[in-house]
Structures are given as structure tokens and as C-alpha cells.
């Protein structure tokens, strides 16, 4: 019997006999089909033994970056810089320095004119872990601990005086580095910092290099 004869013979068989709906099959057959599908799915889901994460693009390299920042709760616009080193096992250690312009408010009370200006700076040590997503993308969740200060200037009728306070600052956030080539990278940064019962969300962008 050639191939044409086999195709004609198969076509002569009614469709209802060639394909049986799953609902009409015995329970034992249904379980066999389900078990076969589960085994096949497991085989494709685990194609090779589990292994440790591959080194990120930043592993074993020093990095330096900087860029604009914007913070909520009157923190406003600012600039920041970050530098650190990623160990070969993808653990990152470094530090960051940020300075925010804060907010300036003018007022007039009973004919007396004045203004209040606040500035904020944060210096923190950071630690995180670099997840390499392909050859160009690195995602880093991180946390930081450091000190921060608020400086203020109060002016009344042209006479100004300065005040300031400092305290501990805790930060937690994450960033993404997209490598444009072997060294240069860009990306966004999002973090939350807390100091003296005050919290603010800071959104930033950075441009940097790895050496």
C-alpha cells in the first residue's frame, strides 16, 4: 500500500471514529493523558540543571554615575551622584550624595514681608544586588543608611538668618542600568527615604560609566 492509498483509506474513516472527544474517554485514559502532559511540561520547563545566576555586566567593576532628581513633599528638584563597586558575586557596595533645592516660600503678615527657604542634602552608604538581564540590562534593588541635613534661611524685612539640623536617614529603592556599550550606561532610579519622621519618594535619572 502506497502513501496515496493510506491517505484515501484514512479519509474514508468517519471523523467521529478518528477523533474522540475527551469527555467520551474512560477515566483511566483521561488520567494517562494528563500525566503525559505534566511530564512533558516538566521536561521542557527544566531543560538543564539549576545553576547560580550569571555575573551581571557590572560584576567586578567600579561604577560612577550622576543625574537629576525630584522628590515629593517639598523636596523638589536636585542633583545626585553615586559611586561603588560590584563584587564578582553580584553584590554591590557604594555610596550616594544628593542635594535638593527644596522650597522657597514668601509671606506677608501685618505689613511685614519675609521668606523661608529650605535645602536638603543626603549622604548615604548603600548595598544591593545586581541582577543581570542579558548583556545590557542590570537591575539593582538596594538599601542605604546615612545622614541627612536640612538647612533653612529665614528673611524678614531683608534681614536673614540661617538654621540647620541633621539626622539619620534610611533609604530603600531600586535602579536600572542600560549599557549603551562596554562602559557607558543610563537608567532610572526610584527610592524612598525616611528621616526624622518624614518620608519622601525620590525619582531620578542617571548617566554613568563602569570601569
pLDDT tens digits for 78-135? 999 999 999 999 999 999 999 999 888 887 777 778 888 889 999 999 999 999 998 8
The angle subtended at Cα 51 by Cα 49 and Cα 57, nearest 5°, is: 140
Q: Where are the alpha helices (DSSP H) in 109-153?
A: none
Residue 184 pLDDT more than 70? Answer: yes
Give residue 37's pLDDT: 46
- 87 Cβ contact partners less than 8 Å away, ≥ 6 residues apart: 59, 60, 93
Q: What is the pTM of this model?
A: 0.70
pLDDT band, residue 50 (cuts 50/70/90): very low
pLDDT tens digits for 147-164? 998 888 888 877 888 888
CA distance 133 to 138: 6
The angle subtended at Cα 174 by Cα 173 and Cα 177, nearest 5°, is: 155
pLDDT tens digits for 12-27? 444 444 444 444 555 4
Amino acid at each position: 500500500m502506497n502513501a496515496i492509498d493510506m491517505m484515501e483509506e484514512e479519509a474514508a474513516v468517519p471523523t467521529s471514529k478518528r477523533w474522540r472527544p475527551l469527555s467520551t474517554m474512560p477515566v483511566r485514559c483521561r488520567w494517562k493523558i494528563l500525566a503525559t502532559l505534566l511530564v512533558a511540561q516538566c521536561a521542557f520547563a527544566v531543560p538543564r540543571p539549576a545553576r547560580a545566576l550569571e555575573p551581571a555586566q557590572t560584576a567586578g567593576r567600579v561604577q560612577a554615575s550622576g543625574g537629576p532628581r525630584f522628590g515629593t513633599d517639598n523636596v523638589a528638584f536636585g542633583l545626585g551622584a553615586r559611586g561603588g563597586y560590584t563584587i564578582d558575586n553580584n553584590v554591590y557596595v557604594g555610596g550616594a550624595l544628593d542635594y535638593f533645592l527644596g522650597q522657597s516660600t514668601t509671606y506677608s503678615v501685618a505689613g511685614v514681608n519675609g521668606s523661608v527657604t529650605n535645602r536638603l542634602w543626603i549622604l548615604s552608604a548603600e548595598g544591593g544586588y545586581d541582577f543581570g538581564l542579558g548583556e545590557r540590562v542590570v537591575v539593582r534593588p538596594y538599601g542605604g543608611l546615612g545622614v541627612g541635613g536640612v538647612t533653612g534661611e529665614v528673611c524678614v524685612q531683608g534681614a536673614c538668618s540661617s538654621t540647620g539640623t541633621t539626622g539619620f536617614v534610611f533609604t530603600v529603592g531600586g535602579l536600572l542600568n542600560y549599557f549603551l556599550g562596554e562602559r557607558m550606561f543610563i537608567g532610572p532610579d526610584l527610592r524612598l527615604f525616611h528621616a526624622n519622621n518624614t518620608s519622601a519618594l525620590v525619582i531620578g535619572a542617571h548617566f554613568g560609566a563602569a570601569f
